[in-house]
Chains A and B, each alone.
Chain A
Amino acid sequence: MSNVLIVVEAQPDGSLRKATLNALTAGKQLTAKTGGELHAVVLAKDAGPLANAVKEYGVKVVHAGSAAHLAHFTADVVAPAVAEIATAIKAEYVGAAATQAGRDVMPRIAARLKAAMASEILGVTADLQFTRPMWAGAVIATVKLGTAVKCFTARTTEFPMAEKGGSGEVKAFSPAAPAKPLQKVVAFKEVKSARPALTEARVVVAGGRGTKGDFKDIDALADELGAAVGASRAVCDAGWQPNDLQVGQTGKVVAPQLYIAAGISGAIQHIAGMKGSKTIVAINKDGEAPIFQVADYGLVGDLFKALPELQAAVKAGK
């Protein structure tokens, strides 16, 4: 009857970050096996509204910690507050989504709870072990955590979003302010894009050297599909696109439902960043390009001709 605690994250505007719903599903998979309760913890200046949003998703109790010092989700203040609740409810599992924020705070929470942790879990086995990627996904390891409390971050692409059902209880609590603040957020610069974030997008349209730097058709198709835009390392190295669009071993690792690679030859390091995609489409002039070896559907041809055609077909099908 072990309880599970999920750490809730907010968007910059205070609304619920979707990735938390993926983490809640991981939590539900655990409670289904332990028979325990699913709890969530919300930390904010005023945690009430967010807690009310989260309680709809099949959570037994949402712990709403409100305090002025929690205006920013920094690890130094989040870790003690989460650990306090985890201890109070005797949580055996404490987890969060594998977002940047989750990756930042979760190990610090684990350290406070003297808990071992599995990062970026892909699934939970019948005997409560975790599967997780190693060597950039070249190996899937099954790991057993040997501490009383166990922590994890869940890869959002591997757990569907939790659905609404039931209404949990919201319990307010007041986390104590630290004696001396350690960290202060002084600025946030949003990488502005009407498009979804590369790592969260359902569809990614990516361009390579074959674009010669011209991303007009890629952008247009991405907009039509509501997709994120990615790029190969060659494109970012050449300065044609910003580095944060780079998909690959050394850039972003993406796993969308649909990945369209246009003018990308398929260097090993690029493939490492997108081979987890559910469906891969490759468009390349060179029929021998290695990208075709990982593509589900390959089209040998000029991307400047194929992409507008594809865009027109998608538009027509709407």
Chain B
Amino acid sequence: MNFSLTDDLKALQETARKFAREVMRPKAAHYDETSQFPREIIQQAWELGLINMTIPQAVGGIELSHVAQAVIAEELAWGCSGMATSMIANDLALLPIVLAGTKEQKEKFLKPFTEKFLLASFGLTEPGAGSDVAGMRCTARREGDHYVVNGQKQWITNGEYADQFTLFCSTDPAKKHKGIMCLVVQGRPKGLTVGKHENKMGQRASNTVTLTFEDVKVPVENRIGQEGEGFLIAMNTLDNSRPLTAMFAVGNARAAMEHAIDYAKQRQQFGKPIADFQGIQFMLADMASEIHAARLLTWESAWKLDAGERNTLVSSYAKRFAADMAMKATTDAVQIFGGYGYSREYPVEKLMRDAKLIQIYEGTSQVQRLVIARELLKGG
């Protein structure tokens, strides 16, 4: 057992931390306010290698360990979890290709991302199929050497700007999860319509749109894995990305705690800093211990992936615990700031709005509990 970061991990963390502090954070309020897309910032992150961390070295990527990705994800989310969501969207979209693509597909669909700044989107959720992935209605009909795709995808991160989509659709919705497959859609083919950017409560720097497919032709060689393997690919992808989402919660909560500590030391009430009051101290102590617990749980879930072990249970623990923890920590941070906390002049209410999404996306806290319970209760 060893809980300390290696020198390499510290160096990676240092770059991510500096980037978060100097580049992301100063612009976080601006992009939250305007809900514009922070393209230049994500491009800068690309130049430093802070996105596309999963691309294999064989096709020019840096292929970071899952633990390294988790360490970086915490720092990026500390800078702005909305921006971090848009940054990590590439890795989420490229993971199915990393996990299940052929050598040729990796050359074709991954390598360009190491050569120039490109964006990719992961298309799984639909208006009528959120937690119930197998209920998807987006279909693909084979016609000769291509598929014809029809349907809708919702909450698609970076969809408006994506150069490539990793799309999950069904050859036969009646087959439920056994009918799902994974296709790579490049560029803006005829029949693909991008909807309006969602006006969200939090994580407003991340671009979120609806995609509509009307008779969109996709070559058969763009299929990742076989027909019917899509569900498994999607679940494997989410197992891989879940530690990163959990780490977003950790970074977000850590930012809230640091603001709360600074403020509690400065703010005077009844003739002394409010940090001298036990009521405030207890809230801070809870934040600190729970943030640390969430971090260690998430590191373990990432470490299991690096060790080649199945991490479904631990990563669900991590995502569930971290997301709920961040919601509580940011709510308490707003409480410590009092009236100022409720004002957009101060940074903590944004963190609270941002945290809420972490309880929802990439498997709600309830779905994580279902997964945990299923693992607990299975077998004799």
Contact = CB atoms under 8 A, between A and B. Distances in A.
A290 B266 CA distance: 7
Interface string A269-288: 00000000000000000001
Query: Which applies to chain A's interface (DSSP): helix, strand, loop or mixed?
Result: loop
B263 to A, nearest CB: 9
A288 B268 CA distance: 8
B16 to A, nearest CB: 22
B272 to A, nearest CB: 14
B267 interface: yes
Interface string B4-33: 000000000000000000000000000000
Nearest to B267: A288
Contacts of B266: 288, 290
Contacts of B267: 288
Nearest to A289: B266
A234 to B, nearest CB: 11
A224 B268 CA distance: 36
Nearest to A287: B268
Interface string B266-282: 11100000000000000
Contacts, number: 4
A288 B265 CA distance: 11
A193 B17 CA distance: 40
A243 B294 CA distance: 43
Contacts of B268: 288
A13 B267 CA distance: 52
Interface string B240-282: 0000000000000000000000000011100000000000000
B25 to A, nearest CB: 14
Interface residues of B, number: 3
A288 B267 CA distance: 7
A290 B267 CA distance: 10
A270 to B, nearest CB: 15
A86 to B, nearest CB: 46
Contacts of A290: 266
B357 to A, nearest CB: 31
Nearest to A293: B266
A290 B268 CA distance: 11
Contacts of A288: 266-268
A136 B345 CA distance: 32
Nearest to B263: A288
A219 to B, nearest CB: 28
A288 B338 CA distance: 14
Nearest to B26: A237
A288 B266 CA distance: 7
A307 B268 CA distance: 27
B265 to A, nearest CB: 10
A39 to B, nearest CB: 50
Interface string A202-240: 000000000000000000000000000000000000000
Nearest to A290: B266
A290 B262 CA distance: 11
A288 B264 CA distance: 12
B213 to A, nearest CB: 46
B359 to A, nearest CB: 33
Nearest to B262: A290
Interface in A242-291: 288, 290
Interface string A17-41: 0000000000000000000000000
A290 B273 CA distance: 12
A267 to B, nearest CB: 11
Interface string B141-179: 000000000000000000000000000000000000000
Interface in A282-318: 288, 290
Interface string A102-123: 0000000000000000000000
B27 to A, nearest CB: 13
A290 B263 CA distance: 11
A269 to B, nearest CB: 13
Interface string B291-316: 00000000000000000000000000
A79 B155 CA distance: 70
A229 to B, nearest CB: 25
Interface in A88-136: none
A23 B67 CA distance: 57
A288 B346 CA distance: 14
A179 to B, nearest CB: 47
A137 to B, nearest CB: 22
A290 B265 CA distance: 10
B30 to A, nearest CB: 14
Nearest to A237: B26
A264 to B, nearest CB: 15
Interface string B34-59: 00000000000000000000000000
A206 B268 CA distance: 26
B141 to A, nearest CB: 57
Nearest to B340: A288
B268 to A, nearest CB: 8
A106 B8 CA distance: 41
Nearest to B268: A288
A251 B267 CA distance: 28
Interface in A132-150: none
Interface of A: 288, 290
Q: Please provide the 3 A-B residue pairs with the shortest distance between their CB atoms, ordered closest to farther.
A: A288-B266, A290-B266, A288-B267
4 contacts: A288-B266, A288-B267, A288-B268, A290-B266
Interface of B: 266-268
